[in-house]
Every structure is written in C-alpha cells, then in structure tokens.
C-alpha cells in the first residue's frame, strides 16, 4: 500500500488487530519472562544467603575438622532430602573456625576429610586440599570455598543458602594460603 | 475386510491424504541406495518412537519430585509388573539411539551426503544429534540418584565459569540456589516437553528434506558434485536407475529396525534397568559420582586438562565444534563424495574415533580418581613386609595410615592417581624420597606438616626397600664420592 492511497476499511481493521495482538503479547509475555527468570529476579536482597545454625560450638572439638549438615534456608515443598546440605567445620583454636563447602572447587563433587593425613580428597577428578582448605594438588584452580561464620552464645552460625560454584558468590571470598606447600 | 476398506475410503474422502502418502512412500530412490549402509536413519527414528512410547509409560508412575523420584524408580523396578522392563527398554533405547545417531552421522559424512543440495538436511541432523545428547543428559538427571545429584553439581560448576553471566546461568539451570526440587522439575520439563518437541520438529524437517531433495546417491569415485549440474544429474539418475522406496528399497530398513528393537529388548532382559544408584541425599558423601557411558570421554578430558586450560576449553571447544559441523557443507559443499577420494575425511573420522575410544576407556577406569578406601581396605602385600626391620615395618604402617595408598598402588591394588610404589626405590634416592614426601610436587600434596620426623624416617626407610630382588636401589653418586 503506497502512502498516497486512502487507507481501506480492511487495512484499518488489520492494523487494529495487530495492535491488539502486540498488546496481548506484552501483557502475557512480560509475566512469562518474569516467571522464567524467577530464580534470578525473585524478591531477594541481597541474595539467597542467610544465617543458619550448625549446632553448639562444643560439638566441634578444638583442632579437629568435623562433618556438619544443615537444611538450606531457602526450601520448597518438593525438595525432600535434597534440601539438606553438608559442610566441613574446622575448629582452629577454639575461637577461630573455617567452614568449608562440601563441593570441590573444581567441579562440585563432595570432598572427604582424612584426619590421618590432614587432607581433603575429591573422589571425582582427584583434587586434594590441605587442612586449611588451600589447594594441595589436582585440577582445582583454587582452595575450598569457605562460608562466613559467627558464634552467638554457644551456637555456630554460617551464612549459607546457595551452592558454591567457581563463578558464584562464595568464590570471591579469600582462602588462606598454606604457608608450607 | 470390506468394512475396513469402506471406513478407510470414508475417512480419505475427507482428509484426502492417501494419494500424498502413497506418493511419499513410493518416491523414487537410486537403486544402489537400497543398501545396508542406508538403514541407520530409519533405525534412529524407530528407536525414537520406542523412547516416546516407553517414556510415556514411565511417566504414568514416575513422580518428578526431588523427595519422591528415587522412591518411584524403586517402585517401578520392584513392585510394578514389568516396570523394570520398561525402565530397561528406555535406558537401553537411549544408549542405542545415541549410538545409531552417531553411526548415521559417520556414514553420512563419509558418503558426502552433506554436500550440495543437502546442506539443510545435514544441519538439521547436527541439531538432532545435539538434541539426542540433551535427552541423554536430562534423562540421566531424571534417574534421580547420587550420580544425578552430583552430576548436576558438575553441570552447575561448568556453567558458572561462563564470564559475567555464569552465576545467573547456574540459578536458571538449577531453578534456585541449590540442587533441589525445582531442579528436577525443570529437567523433567526439558526431558519430557521441550527437547522431545524440538526433536519431533527437526525430525519432521529432516524427513521432509529427505523426501524433497532426495536421498543421497551411492558415491562413485570421480563423480564430482557441482552446484550447476548436480540436480539435473540426480534426476537423470533417478529416471535411469530409480526404484520406488516402497516396496523396492524399504526391506533393509524394516529388517534392521526389527533387529535393533530385538537387540534393545535383549539388552533390557539380560542386563536389566540402569540403577537407580544410591539415594540423592547430599549428606551421604561416601560416593564417587560418574556420568553415563556417553559422557566418560568428557569426564576424562576434565581430569587431564591443565587447570588453566579447562575453562577456555569447556566454553570454547563445544562452540567451535558445533560451528564447524554446521559450517561443513558450506566450505566443502562441492567436489568428491566418495570416501575413497577423501583421505582427510577418513582420517578425521579415524582420529575422532580413536580419540573418543581412548578417552572413553580411560573414563571406564578413572585412574585419576583416588581410591578413597584403599588405605583401610587394601593391606600392604605380605612380600613387602617379610624380612624387614621394625623401623621399615613401621614405615609400612605410616604408608597405610596416611592414606598414601589412596593414590599409590602396591602389588596392583590401591589408587592410580600417583605412580605405583612397588619399585620406587629404583627411581628415587633416599634424599629424593624425603623431599618428595615432605614437599610434595608433581601433583602430590606436601606431607611435611602431617608427618613427624620419626614418621618420615620410617616411611622413607620402608620405601627404600621397595626394589626388585637383584636390582640395586637408586643411589646418590656425589654423596658416595664425598662420604666414603
């Protein structure tokens, strides 16, 4: 249709129809996009993390590294046992702690603590870490992920809520380097 | 019989598809394509249909909930009549489908079928391969056991390495901050709705193109593909030496499809369903997660790449590989079709096959994984303790207690992460042994902090006895010269 032609009745109705459908696309599409991206944009500031109790400090003896579990602060009804998360608690001197994520800093497999040799070993690709979480050998590019912690009264709390990954929030936390490596 | 015919005619008077269907089924194909080399595409389609049917059957029982999925798989295996068989059919069908799609691709590549004018058929095929692998991975997640749980962790860790948006990709992949209910639900939606929908769409396009453009003729050395002449020559070939696909060329497809389906059923009956393995409880960490067969090569690559090369490889190599496959018909769209005149194509296939096979067989043994229980489960062989002093025997005890065996084999048992220690004294002198134990290096952790001087002395004393009878241990020549 050239610009000099008079708009026809049919053309006007087609235009109105197109506008209506565009409006409908926006009205439906925007909530659909919000729904799809909800894991990222849901109402959460600053993030998923919140303080989670790990138990009384007395259950983590000084100088030892113990296994601990907690329920993720963000849960949904269908989570079942997958809402549970594991971590390693190292009580350095009774006042200072290191709480390591269970996930290997390489690709997330569960690392195991061997108190006899003071090493964390990963069963997947052979990553190994020293007692302070620093990298000992294998494919990991960095040390174990560490959670922030605080002690209130007699209870040890950690700031958790998200699976630690190399690109995730915990990754930016510094990890103590081993002095002898 | 007459009734069936009448009902058929009644329907066709309305839908009017009978003539089209007859035309499509009996479209002419070159005589030489009635061959056992041309059966893999139809076989892949038949297995896809089997996967749809068995998938729907499984969905009647399976509950895609992180809390219940594992239990419903056990219910299927143990309490539902033939539930184990349907699961086994679906699992083995998946393996067969990936294998047949790959064989189909190799055949098409070697026969030059991707060349003009079948570029789009090839591209649709590449996407079908990717979608098939997507089905294999998402299906492994639906078998919601320990391997699935930690496999998702690996997927999330890989995704998180994407620059800038990695963190967001992980959240979207997992459907939340951790691997949990929402993760399984979305993988269910992908495996059952999204990917199969795309598969059906691309299968339709792929088949439409096979009918419209015609099946690739048998490649003859010297018969060169040129854009200007190919279509006319192909039609001339069809006229001169064409046969109707149905009934003249379909029988190999039918027989092979039957053999494939029977093979899947035989595997299902004899070898049974896949898992599920241990329950997906994140607090049970006594596990060594492993992907399914078709991803073992990747498992190997991720273990052997130098750490610094890993992220670039993970993010760039797949994109380059897929781009190469899609671009192939555009930079090699003309010329020779016969593999007899395309040595580089044959070498590429051989190289990929040998590489894939080597990486896969390494993935079967996972020599890079520490044997997590070797230190407590595999004793030092008695022959290495006979005639040893008390100090040396104490060293053997240190070797066990400090988990050295998790990475080092003795008498064929133990981990293979590090070198076996049976003849270590031949390779390293006393000083070198002490240095290696205390400082580590060469992918071994340093044990300086974890061993007392007495333990190190005992351990090295024991290691020095590990040399074959009649072969002297390594010695330090300079030391002997200065300290007689």
User: Which domains does chain B carry?
Assistant: 28-365 (1.20.810.10), 374-482 (1.10.760.10)
Q: Tell me, yes or no, whether A157 lies in a domain.
A: yes
Contact B174 A84 (CB under 8 A): no
How far is it, in rounded angstroms, from Cα B239 to Cα B225? 18
Contact B176 A114 (CB under 8 A): no
Contact B402 A124 (CB under 8 A): no
Interface of B with A in 85-114 (CB under 8 A): none
Q: Tell me, yes or no, whether A181 lies in a domain.
A: no
Residue from B369, B370, B439, B448 whose CB has the most chain A CBs within 10 Å, to mutate: B370
Contact A124 B161 (CB under 8 A): no
CA B409 to chain centre: 28
- Closest chain B residue by Cα to residue A109: B150
Phi-psi region of B422 (alpha: psi -120 to 50; beta: other; left: phi over 0): alpha
Average pLDDT taken over every residue of chain B:
91
pLDDT at A3 over 60: no
Contact B180 A79 (CB under 8 A): yes
Residues A83 and A168 both lie in one domain: yes
pLDDT class of A171 with cuts at 50, 70, 90:
low
pLDDT at A175 over 50: no
pLDDT at B103 over 70: yes
Q: Tell me, yes or no, whether A91 lies in a domain.
A: yes
Residues A33 and A60 both lie in one domain: no
Q: What is the pLDDT of residue B386?
A: 87
- Closest chain A residue by Cα to residue B310: A139
pLDDT at B246 over 70: yes
For the residues B4-17, what does the mean pLDDT come to? 94
- Closest chain B residue by Cα to residue A72: B178
Residues A55 and A141 both lie in one domain: yes
* Nearest CB neighbour to B444, from listed A86, A125, A137: A137
pLDDT at A43 over 70: no
Q: What is the pLDDT of residue A45?
A: 55
pLDDT class of B85 with cuts at 50, 70, 90:
very high
Residues B425/B463, Cβ–Cβ less than 8 Å: yes
Q: How many CB pairs under 8 A join A and B?
A: 212
For the record, the structure tokens of B270 come out as 């004899």
DSSP-H helix ranges across B26-78: 40-59, 69-78
In chain B, what percentage of residues exceed pLDDT 70? 100
Residues A20 and A56 both lie in one domain: no
Q: Tell me, yes or no, whether A62 lies in a domain.
A: yes
Cα B472 to Cα B419, B423, B430, distances in angstroms: 19, 10, 13
Residues A87 and A152 both lie in one domain: yes
Residues A24 and A65 both lie in one domain: no
Residues A127 and A109 both lie in one domain: yes
- Closest chain A residue by Cα to residue B305: A139
Task: Using DSSP, state whether A160 is helix, strand or coil.
Answer: strand
Residue B371 touches chain A, beta carbons under 8 Å: no
Q: Tell me, yes or no, whether A179 lies in a domain.
A: no
How far is it, in rounded angstroms, from Cα B272 to Cα B89? 8
Residue from B283, B290, B298, B306 whose CB has the most chain A CBs within 10 Å, to mutate: B283
Q: Tell me, yes or no, whether A96 lies in a domain.
A: yes
pLDDT at B484 over 60: no
| Start-to-end CA span in chain A (Å) | 78
Residues A37 and A60 both lie in one domain: no
Sheet of strand A112-114: strand arrangement:
A112-114, A119-121, A128-130, A135-137
pLDDT tens digits, A49-61 = 889 999 999 999 9
CA A7 to chain centre: 58
Q: Tell me, yes or no, whether A180 lies in a domain.
A: no
Q: What is the pLDDT of residue B302?
A: 84
What domain range is A20 assigned to?
A: 9-41
pLDDT tens digits, A132-161 = 999 888 888 889 999 999 999 899 999 988
Q: What is the pLDDT of residue A44?
A: 58
Q: What is the pLDDT of residue B340?
A: 92
- The Cβ-side half-sphere exposure at B105, using a 13 Å CA radius, reads 22
| Start-to-end CA span in chain B (Å) | 107
Overall number of domains in chain A: 2
pLDDT tens digits, B369-420 = 888 888 888 888 888 888 889 999 999 999 998 888 888 988 888 888 888 8
- Taking contacts as CB-CB distances below 8 angstroms, the residues of chain A near B418 are none
Question: Hunting for tokens 């270590």 — which residue is that?
Answer: B424
Q: What is the pLDDT of residue A11?
A: 92
- Closest chain B residue by Cα to residue A162: B177
For the record, the structure tokens of A51 come out as 């303080």
Question: Hunting for tokens 């333990």 — which residue is that?
Answer: B455
What number of helices (H) and strands (E) belong to chain B?
A: 21, 2
pLDDT class of B247 with cuts at 50, 70, 90:
confident
Q: What is the ipTM of this complex?
A: 0.87
Contact A72 B307 (CB under 8 A): no
Give A29 or B477, the one with higher predicted confidence. A29
pLDDT at B323 over 90: yes
The alpha carbon of residue A14 is apart from the nearest alpha carbon of chain B, in Å, by: 30
Contact B181 A79 (CB under 8 A): yes
* Nearest CB neighbour to A82, from listed B171, B181, B285: B181
pLDDT at B104 over 50: yes
Dump the DSSP string for B357-420.
HHHHHHHHH-TTS--TTHHHHSPPPGGGTTT--HHHHHHHHHHHHTTGGGT--BTTBS--SS--
For the record, the structure tokens of A121 come out as 């070993």
Residues A82 and A29 both lie in one domain: no
The DSSP call for residue B246 is I
In chain A, what percentage of residues exceed pLDDT 90? 52
Contact B369 A126 (CB under 8 A): yes
Closest CA to B86 of B67, B59, B48: B59
- Taking contacts as CB-CB distances below 8 angstroms, the residues of chain A near B287 are 110, 123
pLDDT tens digits, A79-135 = 999 999 999 999 999 889 999 999 999 889 999 999 888 889 998 888 889 999 998
Q: What is the pLDDT of residue B219?
A: 92
Residue B445 touches chain A, beta carbons under 8 Å: yes
- Closest chain B residue by Cα to residue A77: B181
pLDDT tens digits, B107-155 = 999 999 999 999 999 999 999 999 999 999 999 999 999 999 999 999 9
Q: What is the pLDDT of residue B68?
A: 93
Residues A60 and A125 both lie in one domain: yes
pLDDT class of B267 with cuts at 50, 70, 90:
very high
For the residues B22-47, what does the mean pLDDT come to? 92
Q: Which of A40-54, B56-70, B297-311, B321-335 has the lowest mean pLDDT?
A: A40-54
Contact A125 B166 (CB under 8 A): no
In chain B, what percentage of residues exceed pLDDT 90? 61
- Please provide residue B37's backbone torsions phi and psi, each rounded to the nearest 5 degrees: -80, -15
Residues A30 and A97 both lie in one domain: no
pLDDT at A180 over 60: no
- Domain CATH code at residue A96: 2.102.10.10
Closest CA to B326 of B82, B75, B129: B129
Closest CA to B187 of B214, B155, B226: B155
- Taking contacts as CB-CB distances below 8 angstroms, the residues of chain B near A103 are 153, 157
Q: Tell me, yes or no, whether A178 lies in a domain.
A: no
How far is it, in rounded angstroms, from Cα B331 to Cα B115? 9
pLDDT at B310 over 90: no
How far is it, in rounded angstroms, from Cα B183 to Cα B280? 13
Residues A79 and A37 both lie in one domain: no
What number of helices (H) and strands (E) belong to chain A?
A: 2, 10
Residue from A47, A73, A81 whose CB has the most chain B CBs within 10 Å, to mutate: A81
How far is it, in rounded angstroms, from Cα B405 to Cα A116? 13
The alpha carbon of residue A34 is apart from the nearest alpha carbon of chain B, in Å, by: 12
Residue B376 touches chain A, beta carbons under 8 Å: no
Closest CA to B463 of B482, B442, B440, B437: B437
How far is it, in rounded angstroms, from Cα A126 to Cα A111? 10
In chain A, what percentage of residues exceed pLDDT 70? 86
């Amino acid at each position: 249709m050239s610009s000099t032609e008079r708009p026809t009745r049919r053309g006007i109705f087609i235009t109105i129809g197109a506008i209506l459908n565009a409006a409908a696309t926006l009205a439906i599409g925007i909530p659909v996009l919000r729904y799809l991206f909800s894991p990222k944009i849901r109402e959460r500031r600053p993030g998923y993390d919140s303080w989670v109790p790990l138990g009384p400090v007395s259950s983590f003896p000084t100088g030892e590294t113990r296994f601990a579990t907690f329920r993720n602060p963000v849960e949904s009804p269908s989570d079942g046992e997958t809402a549970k998360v594991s971590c390693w608690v190292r009580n350095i001197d009774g006042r200072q702690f290191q709480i390591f994520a269970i996930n290997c800093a390489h690709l997330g497999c569960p690392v195991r603590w061997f108190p006899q040799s003071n090493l964390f070993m990963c069963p997947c690709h052979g990553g190994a870490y020293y007692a302070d979480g620093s990298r000992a050998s294998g494919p990991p590019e960095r040390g174990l992920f560490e959670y922030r912690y605080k002690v209130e009264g007699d209870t040890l709390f950690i700031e958790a809520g998200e699976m630690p990954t190399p690109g995730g929030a915990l990754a930016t936390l510094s990890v103590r380097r081993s002095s002898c490596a | 019989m007459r009734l069936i015919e009448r009902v058929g005619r009644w329907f066709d008077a309305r839908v009017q598809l009978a003539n089209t269907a007859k035309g499509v089924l009996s479209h002419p194909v070159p005589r030489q394509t009635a061959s056992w080399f041309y059966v893999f595409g139809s076989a892949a389609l038949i297995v896809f249909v089997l996967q749809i049917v068995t998938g729907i059957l499984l969905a009647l029982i399976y509950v895609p909930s992180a809390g219940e999925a594992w239990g419903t798989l056990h219910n299927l295996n143990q309490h539902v009549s033939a539930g184990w068989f349907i699961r086994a059919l679906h699992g083995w069908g998946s393996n067969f489908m990936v294998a047949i799609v790959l064989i189909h691709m190799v055949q098409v590549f070697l026969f030059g079928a991707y060349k003009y004018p079948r570029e789009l058929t090839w591209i649709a095929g590449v996407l079908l391969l990717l979608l098939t692998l997507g089905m294999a991975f998402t299906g492994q997640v639906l078998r919601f056991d320990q391997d699935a749980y930690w496999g998702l962790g690996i997927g999330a860790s890989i995704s998180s390495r994407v620059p800038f948006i990695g963190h967001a990709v992980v959240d979207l992949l997992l459907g939340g901050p951790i691997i949990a209910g929402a993760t399984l639900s979305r993988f269910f939606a992908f495996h059952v709705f999204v990917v199969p929908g795309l598969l059906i769409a691309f299968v339709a396009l792929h088949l439409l193109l096979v009918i419209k453009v015609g099946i690739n003729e048998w490649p003859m050395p010297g018969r060169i593909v040129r854009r200007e002449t190919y279509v006319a020559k192909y039609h001339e070939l069809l006229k001169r030496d064409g046969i109707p696909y149905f009934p003249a060329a379909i029988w190999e497809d039918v027989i092979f499809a039957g053999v494939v389906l029977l093979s899947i059923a035989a595997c299902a009956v004899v070898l049974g369903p896949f898992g599920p393995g241990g329950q997906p409880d994140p607090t049970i960490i006594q596990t060594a997660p492993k992907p399914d067969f078709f991803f073992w090569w990747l498992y190997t690559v991720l273990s052997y790449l130098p750490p610094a090369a890993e992220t670039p490889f993970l993010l760039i190599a797949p994109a380059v590989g897929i781009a190469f496959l899609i671009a192939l018909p555009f930079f090699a769209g003309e010329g020779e079709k016969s593999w007899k005149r395309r040595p580089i194509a044959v070498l590429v296939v051989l190289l990929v096959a040998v590489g894939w096979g080597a990486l896969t067989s390494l993935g079967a043994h996972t020599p890079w994984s520490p044997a997590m229980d070797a230190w407590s489960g595999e004793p030092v062989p008695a022959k290495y303790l006979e005639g040893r002093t008390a100090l040396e025997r104490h060293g053997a005890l240190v070797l066990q207690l400090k988990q050295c065996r998790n990475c080092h084999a003795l008498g064929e048992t133990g981990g293979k992460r590090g070198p076996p220690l049976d003849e270590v004294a031949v390779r390293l002198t006393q000083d070198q042994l002490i240095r290696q134990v205390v400082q580590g290096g060469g992918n071994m952790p340093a044990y300086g902090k974890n061993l007392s001087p007495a333990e190190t002395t005992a351990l090295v004393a024991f290691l020095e006895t590990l040399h074959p009878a009649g072969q002297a241990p390594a010695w330090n020549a300079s030391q002997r010269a200065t300290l007689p």
